[in-house]
Structure 1
Amino acid sequence: MFKTLFQRFGQASLVALGLSLALNAQAQPTNVTYLLPAPPNSPAFAPWIIAKEKGYYASKDLNLEFIAAKGGVDVAKQVGAGNAMLGGALGDTPIVVRANGIPVRAVAVLGAGGVTMVATNAAENINSISDLKGKTMTVMSYSDTTYYALLASLRKAGLSKTDVNVQAAGPAGVWQLFSANKAQAMAGVPDWVVNAEEAGLQIKLIPQEQIFESMAQAIIASDDAIKNHPEVIRGVVQATLQGMQDIIQDPHAAAVTFAKAVPAYAGKEASLEKTFKLYVEHVYANQSVLGRIDPARLDKVRKFYVSEGIVAKEPALDELYTNQFIETTTAAQ
């Protein structure tokens, strides 16, 4: 009798152990390599950093590892080659790489605005794009999306690139030369605008409606990942958009969270908050459904890239994006 009881107890223990192991196996998060176009400690990547810090990816049973690539095009190439399932680039990037046969598309775009801002030295009294004629201005490089947006903005105002002395100065020089009064204007991202301002320069921004409607930052994925791992893509998209929503709702609290996640920014929360407010006002704003890609806007950018010879052939519009992972019932607050 005792033997039978012990046998039953042993069998029950084995069953319990098996269930426990099975539950633990189910609870193990999926490891996801996510490529970023630059080191992940930049405020530009705050939606991702905040989403990880606050456990939004973990709540989707995902464990994201951020790895820096060499720009958005490199991210797209690596994702297209299957070296990572997802990555970050600008919404314009699929236009460039798809034309070269790289099978990636945007699955979310973080904002209805473009990331390109044109900042001017307030002392120069530059009030419009047309006022840039004859001026010197800086950009990061001649192959960066902010430069392409500048070219399109000049053309929109009836100017050509030869009407302005545009200097490629790199990611630090772009704002350092500007803040040192060696250029009257700068085309760049909100982070650099705050950098120049904190270096002591009085800045005036060209109204955003005069800037060409390029795209905000995007999450890109390969056609293969979209087809075979849709649950992972959806989880990453929704968690990242939750991080973006936190910034929109409370830039100050978001700055505190970011500084906690990236200790190099401890004590710089006020500066971070200024940067986040620029993103909220100029990039994230007016997106009726968070993350949704506007086909009409993407088409306009696509046509510009072809007209300028940036890409040799026009990729099909429906191969550049998908909105299947966007919760269209959730409007932006």
Structure 2
Amino acid sequence: MLTSRRDFLKLTGGAAAATSLVPRVVVAQPTVKIGTAVLADYGLAGPVIIAVEKGFFKEQGVNAEFLPFRGGPDLLKAVMVGEVLVGVTGSTDIIQFREAGSPIKMVATHGEGNNFVIVTSPDGPAMSELKGKGIGVTRPGSASWILTRMAAKAQGWDPDRDVKILGLGGLDAQLAALTRKEIAAFIWGDYGGVSVAQGRTKVIFKLETITPKWISFIEYSAEDQIKKNPEQVRGSIRAMFQAFKFMKANPEESARITSAKLGWSPDVVLAVHRGWLPIAPADGRIDVEALRVMQDTLLESGTIKKRLPLEEHYTTEFTPVRL
């Protein structure tokens, strides 16, 4: 029988001590995937690779894996079924896929400006000579497809009749088709990236010349994930912005870390890194005016048919990112 408050405290204190000796059960965070529209684009994939390899996702409480795809539409499917938590892709995807009814929202800017270019072989044709020829893109409906159609229209051509726009997938497939002369050119980000740095291609058209107000890359998530798992989304974004900060401060180490996953030599990655710096985002905030210009451009080109309210395309819940 407990005869005093002191006896009670002794008993409960002993029970607490005994409980503390029981091994603590740690509930592991479920694994989530961070997807990119393609692998061979430093601006898209580099920050995700760095965030994984440097442990930035874990620092933010996110157990993340990197999963590259073969184009924006394929990535969208994975986001919509919950296979991917945050997708990183070309910016036009958010406008086009929202118009098609996909319940997704942009959560941060992953690359400013427009770093897409059309490239050809070192002895290939000029942009003005591409009429009637094949141009490679990742997938029909992707950002690369939309921008190629815009480039064709800027030349005064009908993109459905005057050029052949072919969905080929990733960079290796584009280069192989170019070598076999199945295409005369292809579009890529990173200002041409590795293929230009290696001397395998040359730039013949910069998309920024017809899109002065633009966003290169975005991070987006499904609306239900934003509602159900906001902290996982937030942590994923913060981890990638830790990576941006690290990459800006440590270009040589960033090149070394990413080279193995990208399959490029560190010196080539470093050259691509220097070209990427001008579009590297500061804090992820969303330029609504750039979204408006992009929406106007897609409407004028006939890529989309209706104008949705801009606020339906994004959320400011996660930006600006403060580290």
What TM-score, normalized to structure 1? 0.76
Shift of residue 114 of structure 1?
Answer: 2.7
Shift of residue 137 of structure 1?
Answer: 5.2
- Residues 72, 142 of structure 2: 8 Å contact kept: no
Partner of 2:257: 257
Shift of residue 45 of structure 1?
Answer: 0.9
Q: Cα RMSD (Å) of the superposition?
A: 3.6
Gaps of 5+ in 1: none
- Residues 133, 184 of structure 2: 8 Å contact kept: yes
Task: Give distance in 2, aligned partners of 1:47 and 1:10.
Answer: 50
- Residues 34, 84 of structure 2: 8 Å contact kept: yes
What TM-score, normalized to structure 2? 0.78
Deviates more, 1:219-228 or 1:187-196: 187-196
Task: Give distance in 2, aligned partners of 1:203 and 1:84.
Answer: 34
Shift of residue 243 of structure 1?
Answer: 1.2
Map 1:123-272; keep pairs closer than 5 Å.
Answer: 123=123, 126=126, 131-132=128-129, 134=131, 136=133, 138-140=135-137, 141-156=139-154, 158-161=156-159, 165-168=163-166, 170=168, 171=170, 172-178=172-178, 185-190=185-190, 193-195=193-195, 198=198, 200-201=199-200, 203-207=202-206, 209-212=208-211, 215-259=215-259, 262=261, 265=263, 268-272=265-269
Map 1:31-180; keep pairs closer than 5 Å.
Answer: 31-37=30-36, 43=42, 44-68=44-68, 71-120=71-120, 123=123, 126=126, 131-132=128-129, 134=131, 136=133, 138-140=135-137, 141-156=139-154, 158-161=156-159, 165-168=163-166, 170=168, 171=170, 172-178=172-178
Task: Give distance in 1, aligned partners of 2:69 and 2:124.
Answer: 37
1:187-214 alpha-carbon deviations (Å, 9 max, x no partner): 222386423653x546245355314355
Task: Give distance in 1, aligned partners of 2:71 and 2:46.
Answer: 17
- Residues 133, 159 of structure 1: 8 Å contact kept: no
Task: Give distance in 1, aligned partners of 2:232 and 2:180.
Answer: 46
Report the secondary structure of 1:161's partner residue.
Answer: coil
Report the secondary structure of 2:111's partner residue.
Answer: coil
Partner of 2:309: 316
- Residues 31, 63 of structure 1: 8 Å contact kept: yes
1:215-268 alpha-carbon deviations (Å, 9 max, x no partner): 4232211222223322221111111122123333333220112246x3x74x82
Of 302, 306, 317 in structure 1, the residue corresponding to residue 295 of structure 2 is 302
Task: Give distance in 2, aligned partners of 1:187 and 1:53.
Answer: 29
- Residues 33, 84 of structure 2: 8 Å contact kept: yes
Percent sequence identity is 19
Task: Give distance in 2, aligned partners of 1:132 and 1:109.
Answer: 35
Task: Give distance in 2, aligned partners of 1:41 and 1:149.
Answer: 18
Shift of residue 318 of structure 1?
Answer: 0.7
Shift of residue 309 of structure 1?
Answer: 3.3
Gaps of 5+ in 2: 1-6
Shift of residue 321 of structure 1?
Answer: 1.1
Distance 1:89 1:228, change over 3 A: same
